Amino acid sequence: MDRSAITRRNFLKVLGGAAAAAALPAAPWAAEPIGAGGASPRRPNVLFIAVDDLRPQLGCYGRKQIVSPNINRLAAEGLLFERTYCQQAICMASRASLMSGYRPDKGGIFNCGPLYECVPGALSLNRHFLANGYETASIGKVYHHRSDETVGWSRGAYHPMGQWVGRGYLAGESIAEVKAYARAHPKETRTGMGPAFEGPDVADNAYADGMHADRAVALLGELKDRPFFLAVGFLKPHLPFCAPKKYWDLYAEDKIDLADNPFVPKGAPKIALTDWGELRGYAGMPAKGDMPDDLARKLIHGYYACVSYTDAQIGRLLDELDRLGLRDNTIVVLWGDHGWKLGEHTMWCKHTNYELDTHAPLIISAPGAKARGRSTRALTEFVDIYPTLCDLCGLERPAHLEGASMAPLFDDPDRPWKRAAFSQYPRGRIMGYTMRTDRFRYTEWRNMQTGATVATELYDHASDPAENTNVAHDPARAGDVAARKEMLRAGYKAARPPGA
Ligand SMILES: [Ca+2]
């Protein structure tokens, strides 16, 4: 650079950049230029995309209702995991478990506190990448708790504010900006929870996720010359279902199907169910009882619109990777933090041990992998993501990890794999432990103090993939229950993949 061209502002930026770089551990490959072809090729970048409350109801999962061309495009270039399970179907614990590599029993992660309060000093995924010379940057909702976004990132976290536009809450770069708007427009703003959905005719970056994409695109340009781990957490399709009108316009509301199993699973224990309080708190939602059909259709419409809105932002990130020529050296990971119910079993939201909530999307595009554009039916878990990324990037796997690396599946997606995937959900003093095997979902609700089992569920996916009937108490199933009980007690270590 011609020094005479350095303005004072740029000079400060250069100084700031040097100070940040000096704080990073030295890495032998850090000085290697891209494509130098030397003995230590540059480690791959990681673009790590989290999508809040995303169901695997996408074209690439064989479901046609939702318009998600960009996620489908990523799947066409990567490996799609058909049967991945979160460890607990709620934002905080799912993310803390995934990012730490621990299951939710570790340090009481299941209680949903910040990761570094549950497990002080945890060597999280981003800390591990930072320690190995990566630039680590966080945009949007990666962890649930803001305090977790202050540890292990070489770039400060970016959290624009604002959920609603129609009620006068605007997206803004800071709480102060949103409050300033509210003061200037007192008639437009109200207090309390806003509506559960809205679809104003606004630009994508009127809402936070468009701003997340703007920042991510800019940051890709800044980070392109060093190995980076860029985490981008999109807020939609989490409630409220607020998205620009053009995404609502992708769907005809009168053509939207309601859930085809609007009943509680037969024989299910009450403790397995929820009253979906998360949704009831929004303006206009029923305080109790069932969801009226017209409102249900509107909510499903809003959920679909939000997925399409986020999908468009993901497309911008993929386009920018291509434009910068980074695609061949960047691993792209896309995960939803858990499933969601849109009226199935009379329920909404997450917070159960059912397949609808524990089953989540996962796509990993790894340059050079044999299994590009393939899918695997291997049973996998979110705790497997951390060790997998270590293997794909050539980093040592920390000893504490409780998952198994899925790297072998990139060579052979059909190879024998785990015998079961494990999830859990607490209800007061009772913990529900659940296990998905190739054929069954088996769940035990246990008193955490006495260990006594208070309820048992068995769903046979061979005949009942929607988990509509609990057959745990059918005498003809006693053998199936006994075998699954033993397997659940043996735990995840006994269910590991052959050779892992
Ligand atoms: Ca979530």
For residue 337, the CA-to-ligand 1 centroid distance in Å is: 5
Active-site residue 144, yes or no?
A: yes
The continuous run of DSSP H or E covering 234 comes out as strand 228-234
In sequence order, the 6+-apart residues with CB closer than 8 A to the CB of 263 are 345, 346, 468
Q: What Å distances lie between residue 434 and 45, 47, 276, 382, 422, CA to CA?
A: 35, 31, 20, 15, 6
pLDDT at position 470, please? 98
**Topology of domain 42-412, per CATH?**
Alkaline Phosphatase, subunit A (3.40.720)
Active-site residue 393, yes or no?
A: no
Q: How confident is the model over 244-272, as pLDDT tens digits?
A: 999 999 999 999 999 999 999 999 999 99
pLDDT at position 165, please? 78
3-state secondary structure of 38: coil
Choose, from 112, 118, 128, 144, the residue flagged as catalytic. 144
Domain boundaries, the chain: 42-412
Q: What is the mean pLDDT of the chain?
A: 89
Q: How confident is the model over 365-383, as pLDDT tens digits?
A: 999 899 899 999 999 999 9
pLDDT at position 181, please? 63
Q: How confident is the model over 337-353, as pLDDT tens digits?
A: 999 999 999 999 999 99
The Cα 229–Cα 226 span in angstroms is: 10
Contact 425, 455 (CB under 8 A): no
Confidence of residue 498 (pLDDT cuts 50, 70, 90): confident
Residue 499 has pLDDT above 90, yes or no: no
Residue 37 has pLDDT above 60, yes or no: no
pLDDT at position 266, please? 98
For residue 22, the CA-to-ligand 1 centroid distance in Å is: 36
Residue 29 has pLDDT above 80, yes or no: no
Choose, from 91, 118, 349, 390, the residue flagged as catalytic. 91
The identity of residue 300, as a single letter, is I
Confidence of residue 163 (pLDDT cuts 50, 70, 90): confident
In sequence order, the 6+-apart residues with CB closer than 8 A to the CB of 68 are 58, 59, 60, 307, 308, 311
For residue 295, the CA-to-ligand 1 centroid distance in Å is: 22
- Average pLDDT for 77-90: 98
pLDDT at position 179, please? 67
The Cα 96–Cα 102 span in angstroms is: 8
Residue scoring higher pLDDT (147 or 194): 147
Reading the block at residue 298, the tokens are 């509107």
Q: How confident is the model over 297-327, as pLDDT tens digits?
A: 999 999 999 999 999 999 999 999 999 999 9
Q: How confident is the model over 479-494, as pLDDT tens digits?
A: 999 999 999 999 999 9
For residue 106, the CA-to-ligand 1 centroid distance in Å is: 20
Backbone φ, ψ for residue 172 (5° rounding): -150, 165
Query: pTM of the predicted model, to two decimals?
Result: 0.89
For residue 12, the CA-to-ligand 1 centroid distance in Å is: 39
Reading the block at residue 321, the tokens are 């990777």
For residue 413, the CA-to-ligand 1 centroid distance in Å is: 28
Chain-centre distance for alpha carbon 466: 22
For residue 203, the CA-to-ligand 1 centroid distance in Å is: 24
For residue 320, the CA-to-ligand 1 centroid distance in Å is: 26
Parallel/antiparallel/unpaired status of strands 330-336 and 362-365: antiparallel
Residue 120 has pLDDT above 80, yes or no: yes
Contact 190, 206 (CB under 8 A): no
